[in-house]
C-alpha cells in the first residue's frame, strides 16, 4: 500500500518531471520530434537538452499549493489566498529575481524567495492576463456579481495547476468545487473550470487508493452532473475508449487531443495513465505529440505520481529536474498542513 505522503510527493515530483520532459518539444510537431530524437521520440529527460528546466506548469502548481496552505484555516478564504498566491507567481514572471522583491505582505511567501521560479518560459496568456487585469480579488462568477474573467478561455492553464486541491484530501465534492472556483480567477469558460475540478477530484480519488479505472468512471459521473459539462465528459470518455483499443502510441494520443485546451489536456493525461504500463512509459507517451507537451506531461505526471508514488518515478530523472528540493518541501508541507502537523510549517507560510 502506497502511503499518503508518498503519493503527494509522487504527484508534485511527477508533475515536474512531465513538465521538464515536455518543455523542449512543446511547440514541435510529432514528425519533428521523431526527426530529433528517433522513432520513439524523446524518451529520457537527460537527453532533452535543457537541463531539466521546469515551466509555468510547475511554478503555478507550487503557488496553488501555497495558496491552499495559507488559506487552510478557513475554506471560504481559499480563493482569496489563491488570488494572492497567483499574484506572487505573476511577480516572478516580471522580475529578475527575489532580490528585487521586498519581503513584506503580500509578497512574504517562502516560494517568492526561490530563484528558479523567476524563469519565464511561455506562460499561458489567460493565466497572465486574468491575474494582471484583476489585481484586487473579485469573487468569480457564478459565485459573484461581476461576470466571468476571460469568459471565452478554456485553456489548459486551469488543469495544469490544480493537482494540489486533490492532494489536500478535502473530499471529492469540495476539492472539485474549490478547484473549479479558483480556476475562474483566470478562465471563465465552463469547460475550463469544470475540467480543472474533474482533475482535482480524480487526483483525490487516486491519492486515496481508488483504482485508476474506477476513479475515472466516478469522476466522469461527478462532472456529468454539472451544467455545461458535455465537452469535459466526452473528452474523458474518448480517452477511456482509445486506451481500451490496444498498444499505446503517439497517434493514439493525438486522437484524444493535442492538449492546448483544458478538456483535452486532462483527457491525454488520463489516456496515458491508463495505457502506460509504468509511470515512465506514461510520461513519455504524454509528451510525444504535436501539442502542448509540457502541460500534458505535467498533468500526466501529477496523475501517475499520485497513482504509483514517488518510488515509481525514474530516479535518474529526479536527479536532474530543476527545483526538486523545493517541490519535495512543498509536497511535505501539504501533507503537514492537511494531515494534522501544521506546526512543522514554520515561517514558510505566514497567515
Residue 341 lies in a domain: yes
Burial of 227 (0-12, 13-18, 19+ CB in 10 A): exposed
Assign residue 328 a region: left if phi > 0, alpha if psi is -120 to 50, beta otherwise? alpha
Q: What is the pLDDT along the chain (351 residues), one digit of tens a residue?
A: 789 999 999 999 999 999 999 999 999 999 999 999 999 999 999 999 898 999 999 999 999 999 999 998 566 689 999 999 999 999 999 888 999 888 888 898 899 999 999 999 999 999 999 998 887 776 665 544 457 889 999 999 999 999 999 999 999 999 999 999 999 999 999 999 999 999 999 999 999 999 999 999 999 999 999 999 999 999 999 999 999 998 999 999 999 999 999 999 999 999 999 999 999 999 999 999 999 999 999 999 999 999 999 999 999 999 999 999 999 999 999 999 998 777 778 778 887
Residue 89 lies in a domain: no
> Angle at CA 223, nearest 5°, toward 222 and 226?
110
Domain that holds residue 315: 4-51+151-345
Residue 76 lies in a domain: no
Q: What is the CATH number of the domain that holds 309?
A: 1.10.4080.10
Number of domains in the chain: 1
3-state DSSP assignment of residue 97:
coil
* CA 195 distance to own-chain centroid: 12
* 15, 323, 204, 346: CA torsion to nearest 10: -170
* CA 311 distance to own-chain centroid: 20
Contacts of 137 (CB under 8 A, 6+ apart): 79, 80, 83, 84
pTM of the model: 0.96
The pLDDT of residue 74 = 63
Residue 105 lies in a domain: no
Neighbours of 343 (CB within 10 A): 7
Residue 283 lies in a domain: yes
Contacts of 280 (CB under 8 A, 6+ apart): 313, 314
Residue 228 lies in a domain: yes
Residue 254 lies in a domain: yes
- How many residues in the chain? 351
The pLDDT of residue 143 = 44
Residue 72 lies in a domain: no
Amino acid at each position: 500500500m502506497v502511503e499518503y505522503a508518498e503519493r503527494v510527493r509522487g504527484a508534485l515530483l511527477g508533475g515536474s518531471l512531465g513538465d521538464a520532459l515536455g518543455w523542449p518539444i512543446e511547440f514541435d510537431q510529432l514528425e519533428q520530434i521523431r526527426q530529433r530524437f528517433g522513432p520513439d521520440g524523446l524518451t529520457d529527460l537527460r537527453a532533452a537538452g535543457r537541463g531539466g528546466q521546469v515551466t509555468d506548469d510547475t511554478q503555478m502548481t507550487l503557488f496553488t499549493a501555497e495558496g491552499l496552505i495559507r488559506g487552510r484555516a478557513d475554506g471560504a478564504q481559499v480563493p482569496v489566498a489563491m488570488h494572492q498566491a497567483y499574484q506572487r507567481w505573476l511577480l516572478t514572471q516580471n522580475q529578475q529575481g527575489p532580490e528585487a522583491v521586498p519581503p513584506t505582505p503580500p509578497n512574504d511567501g517562502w516560494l517568492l524567495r526561490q530563484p528558479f521560479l523567476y524563469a519565464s518560459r511561455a506562460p499561458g496568456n489567460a493565466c497572465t492576463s486574468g491575474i494582471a487585469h484583476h489585481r484586487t480579488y473579485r469573487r468569480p462568477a457564478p459565485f459573484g456579481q461581476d461576470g466571468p474573467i476571460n469568459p471565452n478561455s478554456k485553456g489548459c492553464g486551469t488543469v495544469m495547476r490544480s493537482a494540489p486541491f486533490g492532494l489536500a484530501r478535502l473530499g471529492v465534492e469540495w476539492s472539485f468545487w474549490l478547484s473549479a472556483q479558483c480556476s475562474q480567477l483566470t478562465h471563465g469558460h465552463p469547460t475550463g473550470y469544470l475540467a480543472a475540478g474533474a482533475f482535482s477530484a480524480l487526483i483525490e480519488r487516486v491519492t486515496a487508493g481508488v483504482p485508476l479505472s474506477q476513479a475515472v468512471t466516478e469522476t466522469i459521473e461527478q462532472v456529468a452532473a454539472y451544467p455545461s459539462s458535455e465537452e469535459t465528459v466526452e473528452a474523458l470518455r474518448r480517452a477511456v475508449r482509445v486506451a481500451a483499443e490496444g498498444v499505446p502510441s503517439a497517434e493514439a494520443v493525438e486522437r484524444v487531443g493535442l492538449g492546448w485546451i483544458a478538456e483535452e489536456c486532462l483527457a491525454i493525461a488520463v489516456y496515458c495513465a491508463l495505457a502506460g504500463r509504468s509511470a515512465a512509459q506514461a510520461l513519455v507517451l504524454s509528451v510525444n505529440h504535436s501539442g502542448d507537451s509540457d502541460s500534458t506531461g505535467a498533468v500526466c505526471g501529477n496523475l501517475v505520481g499520485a497513482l504509483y508514488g514517488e518510488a515509481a518515478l525514474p530516479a535518474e530523472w529526479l536527479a536532474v529536474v530543476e527545483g526538486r528540493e523545493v517541490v519535495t518541501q512543498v509536497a511535505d508541507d501539504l501533507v503537514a498542513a492537511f494531515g494534522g502537523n501544521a506546526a512543522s510549517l514554520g515561517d514558510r507560510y505566514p497567515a
